[in-house]
Amino acid sequence: MRIATWNVNSITARLPRLLAWLESSGTDVLCLQEAKTTAEQFPSAELAELGYESAVHATGRWNGVAVVSRVGIADVVRGLPGDPGYDGVVEPRAISATCGPVRVWSVYVPNGREVEHPHYVYKLQWFEALRAAIAGDATGSRPFAVMGDFNVAPTDDDVWDPASFEDSTHVTPAERAALTSLREAGLSDVVPRPLKYDHPYTYWDYRQLCFPKNRGMRIDLVYGNTPFAKAVSDAYVDREERKGKGASDHAPVVVDLDV
C-alpha cells in the first residue's frame, strides 16, 4: 500500500500535474494540503475518473485539506476537535479518515508568521489540540499516521542554512517541542534521513532560485504509530515533482507499507 502527503498549493492550479502524478506513482491514499478551494469546487469528479474517492474540508481561497483514496474512505472527521481558531475563525486545517486498513490525518499546521505575532501563539495552541485529538489512535493497534505540512523543521539538519532562520518561525524551540510532544504521544517520524539525497527537503520557496540552489526545508512529515512504523517498507521525497513549470513549492512525501 502506498500512502503520500503533498501540499499542492492550490489544487486548481496543480490539477493536471496531480492527476498525472497519481497515475504514474501508483499512490493508493494521498493526503492533500492547501487546496485553496471550496468543497463544492474540489475536483472530486476528475479524481473519481481515476478511481479515487475524496473527503474534503475546504472553505475558500486559503487553507483546505483533503484525503483521496482508491482503497475506500470511511469514518471521516472534518476539523480538529478543540481547534482554538484564529481571530474568531476556525480554519479548515485538518481532516481524518480510515482508508482500508489504515487511518490517517491530513494536517496543515498554521504558519505562525512571526515569533511575536498572535498567529505564532495560535500555532502552538493548534499543536496542543492536535496532540489531544490523536492520542487514542496513536496508542492503538491499527496503523495510524498524521501526515502533512507541519510548518516546522524538526532539526537544524532540516533547513538549508540554520543561521538564516535565526529568530524566525519554523525552527524555534517551542515549535520543535510541539513536534516532540506529538512523538511522545506514540508516534515516530517514519521517513528516514538521509534518503536518496543528503538533504531530503520537502519545500523550496519560489523566490531567489531556492530550488535550483537547494535552499529548502523539510517541513512535510509523516508521523506514524508503532503498527504503522513497523509496516513501512520504503519512504522517499519525490523531488522530481518539484521541477518544471507549474510545480507546487512542496514535493510529495511517499511511504510504502506492507499491510
Catalytic residues: 108, 149, 250
Which string of b and e fits 102-139 if b means at least 16 CB within 10 Å?
Answer: bbbbbbbbbebeeeeeeebbbbbbbbebbbebbeebbe
7 labelled binding-site residue: yes
Per DSSP, 159 falls in state B
199 labelled binding-site residue: no
Cβ atoms of 137 and 131 closer than 8 Å: no
Q: How far apart are CA 114 and CA 129, in angstroms?
A: 21
34 labelled binding-site residue: yes
137 labelled binding-site residue: no
250 labelled binding-site residue: yes
Q: How far apart are CA 58 and CA 36, in angstroms?
A: 7
DSSP string, 33-55: E---SBTTTS-HHHHHHTT-EEE
- Burial label, 53 (beta-carbon count in 10 A; 0-12, 13-18, 19+): middle
Q: How far apart are CA 96 and CA 202, in angstroms?
A: 22
Q: How far apart are CA 68 and CA 52, in angstroms?
A: 6
249 labelled binding-site residue: yes
Angle at 201 (CA atoms; ends 94, 69), nearest 5 degrees: 40
Integer CA distances (angstroms), 188 to 61, 145, 207, 227, in order: 32, 9, 32, 11
> Which residues carry a binding-site annotation for Mg(2+)?
7, 34, 149, 151, 249-250
Q: What residue numbers does the annotated binding site cover?
A: 7, 34, 149, 151, 249-250
